[in-house]
C-alpha cells in the first residue's frame, strides 16, 4: 500500500515537475528517434552482432549498452564469426547509427568510392559534432588544414626542417629529462609526452617562439581535449536539440581556443606584415619561414581563397591541426616507450636500437637527414609494432555513405543505404595470429628482421619481390592489415612527420640516457571504443656520463 502510494506520488511529481519531466521526455524522444531511424541505415540482409530474440525499443537499448561495455569481446566474436569468413555484420554502437563492419577483403571496395559518394569528412562532421566542436562551421566544410598538409608536409621536410625538429627534440628532452648523471629521475610517461609532443610539433607548425610559449601550448592541448569531450557529449543529444545545446557544451572549446589565439592571431598578423614588407622591399633581409603558417598562407593565396587568409581563420585551422597531431602522437609515444622499457631486457630491444642509432649517427657524421632516418629500421620496426599492438582506435577507415541510391557491395550482394556508416575492425585484424604470429607479444624487431636479412644479402642476387615486400614493412606503409594511420587517400598525411619526430626522439634518448627497465609493462585500458595507454605509469631515467654537451 505504502509502496503504491509512493509510486503514485513519484509519477505525479515527475509529470508535474518540469525539471524531471523535461529530461524524461528528452530521453524518450532520443530512444524513439534512434529506434525509428535505426533500420533504414543498414542493409536489411546483414546479421546483427549479438542480437537476441525480439528487437524493439528495450532490446535496442540493451544492445547499445552491452556493445559499449563489452567492446573487446564483441569485436572478437564478430571477427571470428563473420570477418574471418569474409562477411560483413552490423555492430550496434552506443550512440548514432549502427556500423556496418566489413572484412579486410572489402576495404579496397570501400576506398574506391570517391569522396562525394562515400565520405570521411561527413563521418567526422557527425561523429565529432564538427559544426560546433571545431569552433567554426567552415572548418569541416573546407578541411583546408588537411589540404595544406597533404600538399606541403612531405615535400617541405627539407634537411633544414629536419634539423629544426632535431633541435627541438634535443632542447625539450634536455629540459624535461634533465642533466643529472648521479640520480635516477622519475617521469610520468604520459605527462612527459604531453610536454614534448606539442612543443616539437609546433616547432614545425609555428616556429621557435610560439612552440616554447607554455601558455599557447596549454591552450592548444586543452582545446584538443575539449573537442574530444564535447564531441562525446553532443553525440548523446538528439539531432533536433543539438543547435540549442551544442553551443553551450562547446563554451570551454571557445575559451581554450581564445587562450592560444591571443598569441597566434598577432603572430599570423605579423607574418602578413613581414610578407608585405618583403614584397615592397625585396632587399630586406627576411626569408619566408618553412612552417605550417607559411604553407597555409601560400596555398590559400595561390588558390585565391580569401576566407582562409583571415588571421583568425589561419589560427583556427592551426588549432585543428594541433587537434589532429597532439593526442594521437602522445598516446603513441607513451605506448612505444612503455613497450620498450617494459620488455624483458634479455630480448635486447633497447640495446639493439641504441646500437643502430649510434652506428648510423656516426656514419652520417651527426646530421639527421631523410635517408639517414630511413636507415633506422629497428627503431622504425619498434614504432610500427607498438602502433599495431596498441592502436587506440578499435574500428578504422570509417566512412559515411552519401550516394542517394546507396553503396552496392557486389561480392556480398548488399547495399549500404544513404547515411549508413561503414568501418573495419582494425583491432581484431592487428591481433589476428594468422596475420601476426604471437599477436599479443610486443616483438620490437618483427618488421626489421626481414629487412635486415635483405640488407645483409646486399651484392648477392636478391629477389625483387622480396625487396619490395620488405619496404612495405616501414612504419608509414598502410594496408588492409595495418590500419593505425587509416588507409587510402585519407590515410594520415602527418605520419611522415611523426616518423621523423619519433625516430629522432628515440635516437636522442638512447644516446644520452639510461632508462631503468620496468619489471612489467603496465596494461592499457579500454575506455568505450578506444584503448588508451596507462596515464600514470612512470619510468626512471638518468643522464649518461659524458653526454652533457651541446649538439
Ligand atoms: C602517431 C600519431 C598519429 C596517428 C596514429 C594518426 C592517425 C590518424 C588516423 C587514423 C587518421 C584518419 C584516417 C582515415 O580516416 O582513414 C588521421 C588523419 C589525419 N591526420 Fe593523423 N595521426 C597521427 C599524427 C598526425 C600528425 C602529427 C598530423 C599533422 C602533422 C596529422 C594530421 C592528420 C590529418 C590532416 C588527417 C586527415 C587526413 C584526411 O582526411 O585526408 N596526424 N590520422
Provide the edge-to-edge strand list for the sheet that holds 538-543: 185-188, 538-543, 513-515
Nearest CA residue ID for atom 9, ligand 1: 485
**Do 399 and 389 reside in the same domain of the chain?**
no
Query: Exposed, middle or buried, 46 (CB in 10 Å: 0-12/13-18/19+)?
Result: buried
**Annotated binding residue 492:** yes
Cα separation, 67 vs 92, whole angstroms:
6
**Do 311 and 269 reside in the same domain of the chain?**
yes
Count of Cβ atoms closer than 10 Å to residue 352 Cβ: 18
Helix axis angle, 251-280 to 311-341, nearest 10°? 110
Is 112 a domain residue? no
| Domain finish residue from 425, 441, 468 | 425
Q: Establish whether residue 154 lines the binding site of ligand 1, counting it when its CB lies within 6 angstroms of any ligand atom.
A: no
The number of distinct structural domains making up the chain is 2
- CA nearest neighbour of 115 among 88, 139, 142: 142
**Do 377 and 405 reside in the same domain of the chain?**
no
If you measure from the C-alpha of residue 421 to the centroid of ligand 1, how many angstroms do you get, rounded to a whole number? 20
Q: Establish whether residue 149 lines the binding site of ligand 1, counting it when its CB lies within 6 angstroms of any ligand atom.
A: yes
Residue 53 zone, left/alpha/beta (φ > 0; ψ -120 to 50; rest): left
> If DSSP codes are grouped into helix, strand and coil, which group holds residue 240?
helix
pTM for this model (two decimals) = 0.91
Nearest atom in ligand 1 to the alpha carbon of residue 204 is 30
**Do 161 and 247 reside in the same domain of the chain?**
yes
**Do 277 and 384 reside in the same domain of the chain?**
yes
| Domain finish residue from 425, 443, 470 | 425
**Do 382 and 275 reside in the same domain of the chain?**
yes
Q: Is-contact 541 184, C-beta < 8 A? A: yes
Q: Is-contact 382 353, C-beta < 8 A? A: yes
Residues 127-165 as b/e (b if ≥16 CB within 10 A, e otherwise) read bbbbbbbbbbeebbebbbbbbbbebbbeebbeeebbebb
**Do 63 and 164 reside in the same domain of the chain?**
no
Nearest CA residue ID for atom 11, ligand 1: 492
Q: 413: Cβ–Cβ under 8 A, 6 or more apart, which residues?
A: 45
If you measure from the C-alpha of residue 315 to the centroid of ligand 1, how many angstroms do you get, rounded to a whole number? 19
Is 7 a domain residue? no
**Do 208 and 231 reside in the same domain of the chain?**
yes
**Do 57 and 80 reside in the same domain of the chain?**
yes
List the grid coordinates of 150: 597533404
Is 13 a domain residue? no
**Do 64 and 179 reside in the same domain of the chain?**
no
**Do 80 and 170 reside in the same domain of the chain?**
no
Is 61 a domain residue? yes
**Do 441 and 468 reside in the same domain of the chain?**
yes
| Domain finish residue from 384, 403, 425 | 425
Is 333 a domain residue? yes
Mean pLDDT by 10 residues, the chain (551 residues): 49 53 59 56 89 65 82 95 97 88 98 97 94 95 97 96 97 96 96 98 97 97 96 90 94 96 98 98 96 98 98 98 97 98 96 97 96 95 98 95 96 96 98 97 95 74 63 91 97 97 98 97 94 97 81 47
Q: What is the pLDDT of residue 472?
A: 84
CA-based torsion, 151, 154, 160, 163: positive or negative:
positive
Cα separation, 337 vs 509, whole angstroms:
10
Is 455 a domain residue? yes
Q: What is the pLDDT of residue 456?
A: 76
Q: Find the domain containing 51 and state its range.
A: 26-104+395-425
Is 337 a domain residue? yes
If you measure from the C-alpha of residue 551 to the centroid of ligand 1, how many angstroms do you get, rounded to a whole number? 31
CATH code of 311's domain: 1.10.630.10
Q: What is the pLDDT of residue 26?
A: 61
Is 6 a domain residue? no
Q: Establish whether residue 204 lines the binding site of ligand 1, counting it when its CB lies within 6 angstroms of any ligand atom.
A: no
Amino acid at each position: 500500500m505504502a509502496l503504491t502510494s509512493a509510486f503514485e506520488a513519484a509519477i505525479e511529481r515527475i509529470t508535474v515537475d518540469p525539471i524531471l519531466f523535461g529530461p524524461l521526455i528528452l530521453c524518450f524522444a532520443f530512444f524513439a528517434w534512434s529506434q525509428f531511424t535505426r533500420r533504414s541505415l543498414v542493409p536489411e540482409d546483414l546479421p546483427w552482432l549479438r542480437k537476441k530474440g525480439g528487437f524493439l525499443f528495450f532490446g535496442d537499448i540493451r544492445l547499445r549498452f552491452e556493445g559499449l561495455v563489452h567492446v573487446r569481446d564483441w569485436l572478437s566474436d564478430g571477427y571470428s564469426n563473420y570477418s574471418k569468413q569474409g562477411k560483413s555484420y552490423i555492430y550496434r554502437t552506443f550512440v548514432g547509427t549502427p556500423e556496418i563492419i566489413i572484412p579486410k577483403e572489402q576495404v579496397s571496395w570501400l576506398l574506391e568510392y570517391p569522396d562525394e559518394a562515400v565520405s570521411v569528412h561527413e563521418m567526422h562532421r557527425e561523429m565529432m559534432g564538427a559544426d560546433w566542436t571545431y569552433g567554426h562551421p567552415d572548418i569541416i566544410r573546407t578541411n583546408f588544414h588537411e589540404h595544406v598538409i597533404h600538399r606541403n608536409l612531405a615535400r617541405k621536410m627539407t634537411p633544414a626542417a629536419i634539423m629544426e625538429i632535431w633541435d627541438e627534440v634535443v632542447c625539450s628532452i634536455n629540459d624535461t629529462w634533465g642533466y643529472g648523471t648521479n640520480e635516477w629521475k622519475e617521469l610520468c610517461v604520459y605527462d612527459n609526452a604531453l610536454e614534448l609532443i606539442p612543443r616539437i610539433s609546433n616547432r614545425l607548425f609555428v616556429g621557435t617562439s610560439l612552440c616554447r610559449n607554455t601558455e599557447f601550448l596549454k591552450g592548444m592541448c586543452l582545446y584538443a581535449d575539449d573537442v574530444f569531450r564535447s564531441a562525446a557529449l553532443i553525440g548523446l543529444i538528439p539531432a533536433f536539440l543539438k543547435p540549442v545545446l551544442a553551443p553551450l557544451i562547446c563554451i570551454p572549446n571557445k575559451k581554450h581556443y581564445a587562450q592560444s589565439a591571443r598569441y597566434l592571431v598577432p603572430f599570423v598578423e605579423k607574418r602578413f606584415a613581414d610578407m608585405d614588407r618583403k614584397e615592397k622591399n625585396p632587399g630586406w633581409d627576411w626569408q619566408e619561414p618553412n612552417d605550417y603558417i607559411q604553407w597555409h598562407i601560400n596555398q590559400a593565396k595561390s588558390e585565391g581563397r580569401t576566407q582562409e587568409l583571415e588571421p583568425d581563420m589561419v589560427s583556427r585551422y592551426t588549432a585543428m591541426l594541433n587537434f589532429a597531431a597532439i593526442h594521437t602522437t602522445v598516446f603513441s609515444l607513451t605506448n612505444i616507450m612503455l613497450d620498450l622499457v617494459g620488455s624483458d631486457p634479455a630480448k635486447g630491444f633497447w640495446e639493439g636500437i641504441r646500437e643502430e642509432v649510434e652506428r648510423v649517427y656516426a656514419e652520417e657524421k651527426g646530421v639527421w637527414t631523410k635517408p639517414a632516418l630511413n636507415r633506422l629500421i629497428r627503431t622504425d620496426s619498434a614504432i610500427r609494432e607498438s602502433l599495431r599492438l596498441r592502436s587506440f582506435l578499435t574500428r578504422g577507415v570509417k566512412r559515411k555513405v552519401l550516394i542517394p541510391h546507396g553503396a552496392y557491395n557486389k561480392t556480398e550482394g548488399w547495399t549500404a543505404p544513404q547515411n549508413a556508416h561503414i568501418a573495419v575492425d582494425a583491432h581484431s585484424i592487428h591481433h589476428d595470429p594468422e596475420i601476426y604470429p604471437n599477436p599479443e607479444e610486443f616483438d620490437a624487431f618483427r618488421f626489421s628482421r626481414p629487412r635486415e636479412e635483405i640488407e645483409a644479402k646486399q651484392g648477392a642476387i636478391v629477389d625483387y619481390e622480396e625487396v619490395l615486400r620488405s619496404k612495405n614493412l616501414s612504419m608509414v606503409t598502410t594496408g588492409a592489415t595495418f590500419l593505425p594511420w587509416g588507409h587510402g587517400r585519407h590515410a594520415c598525411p602527418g605520419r611522415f612527420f611523426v616518423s621523423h619526430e619519433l625516430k629522432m626522439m628515440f635516437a636522442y634518448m638512447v644516446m644520452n640516457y639510461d632508462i631503468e627497465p620496468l619489471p612489467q609493462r603496465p596494461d592499457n585500458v579500454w575506455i568505450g571504443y578506444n584503448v588508451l595507454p596507462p596515464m600514470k605509469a612512470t619510468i626512471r631515467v638518468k643522464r649518461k656520463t659524458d653526454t652533457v654537451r651541446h649538439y
